[in-house]
Amino acid sequence: MRVARWFTRKRGCACPLTLTDSEAGNGGVTRLEVVPLDSIVGTVEPTAQFDASFRPASETLRWRWEQIALAHRKGHALPPIVVRKRPEGYYVVDGRHRVSVARALGHRDIDAWVTGRR
């Protein structure tokens, strides 16, 4: 099963990129967009819970991660993630678990509230 392998595969050693304090400022209007998952490059706050590919980095995430995966499989609507747009890509403010699950399920994009430069 593809989702189960997401937890058992070798973890990357690097954490996602993180915005510095000076870069994390709001900077723009918030709008709802469909964001390509491969353009999400990091998080606003540092995290050791996920690797650079947003795979879970520990078993402590399993329960929450599986609940989100189950909601996806049942077709339940999940709230959009929240991201900041920067020239190099998007940084997650809220929704790291949803990004991780969507990538594991092979989704190409995700709904997001986007703040930042167009």
Q: Range of 102's domain?
A: 2-116
Structure confidence by residue, pLDDT tens digits, 98-107:
999 999 999 9
Mean pLDDT lowest for which of 10-24, 33-47, 81-95?
A: 10-24
Q: In total, how many domains does the chain have?
A: 1
* Element holding 5 (H helix, E strand): helix 2-8
Identity of residue 118: R
Average pLDDT, the chain: 83
Assign residue 77 the CATH number of its domain.
3.90.1530.10
Edge-to-edge order in the sheet of strand 40-43: 17-18, 40-43, 89-94, 81-86, 109-116, 30-36
Structure confidence by residue, pLDDT tens digits, 74-87:
999 999 999 999 99
pTM, entire model:
0.79
d(CA 47, CA 34): 24
